[in-house]
């Protein structure tokens, strides 16, 4: 079954079709939640709530863009958890074993700088550089015009680069 026929079946209440749509996105959704929330327990909660809410509201999906729609639900779930916690640490992807101590220190400093950014800029950076989403996808997921998504990303990157330059952290650590 292709995605469109799975989507049609899921909208008619076919739970197996819905699960067939969700299963390939499981890693994407979990990694997105983990990137925003910073810990595996909250990421699992956000992911589970997302799947439940998507199943409950599958009939409201307009158009064939299931991945964008369910990712938007996940972002809303993650934001709700952040509001409850107020401020979330953002993990920087782990460096490979054997990486020099200075690289690990730089990675921790980068994590601190990410956490210090305004939420909207931090979210844009995570979506673009850690999840490799296009600016168009970021705009759609965050519900803002493309120009706003570009501005948030540009300002966040500029702030990170300035702070890292001040701290003399090597450009090798910056993924942008």
For the record, the structure tokens of 30 come out as 């979990």
- Read off the pTM: 0.60
Domains of the chain, each with CATH number or no CATH: 3-85 (1.10.1740.10), 101-173 (1.10.10.10)
Residue that has been written with the tokens 């998507």 in this structure: 54
Neighbours of 76 (CB within 10 A): 15
Q: pLDDT (tens digit, 0 to 9) for every residue of the chain, 176 residues total?
A: 788 899 999 999 999 999 999 999 999 899 888 878 878 899 899 999 999 999 999 999 887 789 889 988 998 898 888 878 755 455 545 544 554 555 555 566 677 788 788 889 988 888 888 777 889 888 888 889 999 999 999 999 999 888 888 777 655 455 55
Nearest to 42 by CA among 34, 50, 53: 34
């Amino acid at each position: 079954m292709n995605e469109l026929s799975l989507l049609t079946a899921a909208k008619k209440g076919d739970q197996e079709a819905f699960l067939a749509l969700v299963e390939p996105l499981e890693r994407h959704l979990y990694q997105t939640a983990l990137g925003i929330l910073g810990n595996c327990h909250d990421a699992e909660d956000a992911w589970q709530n997302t799947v439940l809410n998507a199943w409950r509201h599958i009939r409201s999906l307009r158009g064939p863009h299931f991945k964008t729609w369910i990712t938007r639900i996940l972002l809303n779930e993650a934001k709700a958890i952040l509001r409850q916690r107020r401020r979330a640490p953002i993990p920087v992807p782990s460096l490979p074993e054997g990486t020099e101590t200075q690289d690990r220190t730089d990675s921790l400093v980068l994590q601190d700088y990410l956490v210090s950014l305004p939420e909207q800029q931090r979210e844009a950076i995570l979506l673009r550089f850690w999840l490799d989403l296009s600016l168009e996808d970021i705009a759609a997921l965050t519900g803002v015009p493309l120009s706003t998504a570009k501005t948030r990303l540009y300002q966040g990157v500029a702030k990170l680069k300035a702070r890292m330059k001040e701290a003399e952290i090597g450009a090798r650590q910056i993924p942008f």
